[in-house]
Structure 1
Amino acid sequence: MAFHGPDYSSSEDEFDDPDFKELMRQQKLERLQLYNGNLTEKQQKEQNIKKIQNNVINRNNDEVLSVINIDINLDERLEDEWTLILLAASVANFDLVVELHKMGADINLKKGGDTILMCACNCPLSTASFEESSEVIKFLIDIGVDVTSKNRKRMNALMFAASNGNINAVELLLPLVDLTEEDNQNWDALFWAVYSGNAALVEFLIDKGLTFDRVDLKGSTPLDIAIDNNLKDVIELLMPEENKSEDLIIINNNFEDIFRDLKNGAKPLFTQDICNILHGTRCENLMKLFVDQGINLLDFLTLSEEEFAAMGVEMPFQRRRLVAGIHKFHKRPFHPSSVPVVGKDEPYSNVDVAAAVFSAIKQVVCMEAAFKYLVKNKDELDVINDKKVIEQTVCNIESKLIRLRKVAIKLQKKAVNWDDQIQPVNIITAKSGRRWFPWRKAVIVFGIVIVASVKLWKRPIPSII
């Protein structure tokens, strides 16, 4: 969620092979020769702007200054609403910012609601050191830029600096702003500092008086944000002293950890989702209990008050909270928008496919849990219509789910064959490896299966909850 400035760097910077760089240079040269003399005025303007932007990024300041009022006006908009001085500030190009200001560049222009100070505070460490970006920030403060201004998300410059983990910038801005200000999700600077993962900055803001017992619109505290993002150093800092012990649990919520070593027929744990429910029902102290017992999300979403007691949940009020939370979870209908979709002509990678499959599996697990919950609790639920009609409807759903399961098993077998068909991508020639990527079929077929599941689940069913 952290916001970063533009990245106009060339992809060839990622390679150290000089032969490959030379090949890329030759290809660029050939393209330029191909279009030489055939560019329209608009195309020539676009090329000039891209060249100017690259010069700003690469600190070729003399070349930038030499084309002002020739190829570009001082406050002219570049790509994505950038102006020269906004772009220079966003990459901590201090000398250029100073020169452009001397020439009369408008420091009050914004990029999508973000001020020049926000752009400077948003300069990532991968682009420039915090010392360099802080030099720009100090200059902007000295020339009178509005420090208290907010963007469309009600974020101020301090929040941008905190989201970047820039403790130097935070120290500069702290005396000039109201520390208690929040954005549109009720995040203050401490929330953003926690999200950045910079424990030193979090500790610094706490020492300055920011409290970490606030909650955002979703009911999450800074500690919840740290736990959700597995920020161990920040968790140690925010965790109450009485809870600091071996009970600290860090959950790796990634694809490999969830599906690695699953035995045939075993269900993925999805422990992170169980922990989220525990937080939502204010039963965080039970986290270790469920983790130690290896409870998976499917079983958790079907547990009764008696089963919670047998598992070791001793407090009756906690058992009632958990049961009520699960009941509320199952009352919320599935929606087709939750199904992962890969557009027909959109670029995608192995990571995109993994994320789509990951989401689809979780949807199916939740559907199965909802079905088991209905069957298990049909006598206790508030039934308005005829139970026989409900049982018949549930049986129909079960039979269709079985058929969907057979399709999923066939898809799994087919996926193994597709894996064997994948050929290495030729990055030298113009041919793309996309045509040899049979997983695109998997995404389409899996999407059809899940959409069918969701549509099936959204069929009118007699009210039973």
Structure 2
Amino acid sequence: MAHYYCDESSDDDDLLDDGGYYDFKDKVKQNRVSRVFTEAEKLAQEKSTFYSALCSKNNELVMEYIDRGFDVEMNFGDGWTPLLLCVSTGNARLTEEFVIRGAKIDSIRDGMTTLMMACNCPKETADFSQSLEIIKLLVDFGVNPKSINRKRMTALMYAANSGNLPAVEYLLPLSDKNAEDNQKWTALFWAVNGDNVSVVEYLLKEGLKYDLCDVRNNTPLDVAKCNNNKKIISLFTSEEPHALISNDNFSYDSFEDSFNTSGEKPQFFLDICNFLCGVKAENAIRTFANNKISLSTFFSFSNSELKNLGVNLPYQRYRIMAGIHKFHEKPFSPTSLHIIKLEEMYSNTDLAVQLLTIVKHVIVMEACLLYMKKNQVEEEILEKEILSMEKQLTIFKRRVVLCKKVAKNIFSKSRQWDKALKPVDLITSNSGKFNLPWRKLILSVSLLSAFFIYKLRS
């Protein structure tokens, strides 16, 4: 067991007494009082107190420091000044006082102006009426509402995102209402992003464009759907989501309907629907269904043809044309075809898939040729490419003729299989040939021979 050792000659024996602890506290207090702070330490402490008073909106204490000669342009570090702190916390009284005392209203921190900071002040920090008072003061003193930061955002966008409707109403006539930032978002985008129903409703009434697409090909309605804000979605009355194609107004072609004897190209409309959903233009599916657009016609569309068809919204035409262009940019690859090795057995389903895939590729390549003819830019280069593609299409057309012959043979075989007791589900090298049941014959002959030998012996 360890024992505390105390040297009898120690000067701190009084600490072991009951009153030693209090004597020790007195000594510490005396040392603190006797300590001499440097001027730099005093200034740093007062600066910290001044900063805390600004953040907590202790206006009386702040004014005491200002009256004592504190600089209204004091730098607290990281670009913060007294004026920037006031506008970002919604302190209208001190903002006016600092401006009167010569604070720079064009101060910028991290690319944001004083006006942007005032618009970005949330309601939880200060009431919107206080922020509006600051915004009007800054504009009156010459701050430009159309200024942009490094992200090309304006004060109007910050106000829309924070939900400050009074500020939006005040700044909209003074700003470029359709200005776009780096991601091509307008103030309407930012209002939707902030889930601010009243601001979105106001901006729509003021005529802000709702059919614009950002760099990700999204509209304000897409952002609202992503946020699952049903109130904002309901405001976009002109873009009410249409029901997808139902069985009542359109039916998909079956395999027999696709390869009819009339010689018409298969529709492959399901592929068109998948494409439109992929480019977020599913609202236009009904238009293509009512006009009975085939896959060949779809992939050879031009912008004017889409407009004449009834795709009236510009952003929808842009999405579809951009998707078609990207689709045609990818070259044809033979590995995309359905390949079955010769030595393997394959079913009639495998053969049907192979036929469908080949026919679809031929249709798409023909549509690509028509698309280039309609939208050609560099004529000399495209003429060479068109000639080579025409040769390839000729080869593919010959293959399609062979495929048609195979399809007819399969169709006749399928009728024979339907009449058979046991339906055939595999096509082999012996299909169509008459094969004797050798095993059954040998077994039968063996049994009869054994029977006759037994009778003869008996």
Q: TM-score range by the shorter chain?
A: 0.3 to 0.5
Which entry has the higher C-alpha Rg, 1 or 2?
A: 2
TM-score by structure 2 length?
0.47
Q: State the structure with bigger RCO (CA 8 A, min sep 6), 1 or 2.
A: 1
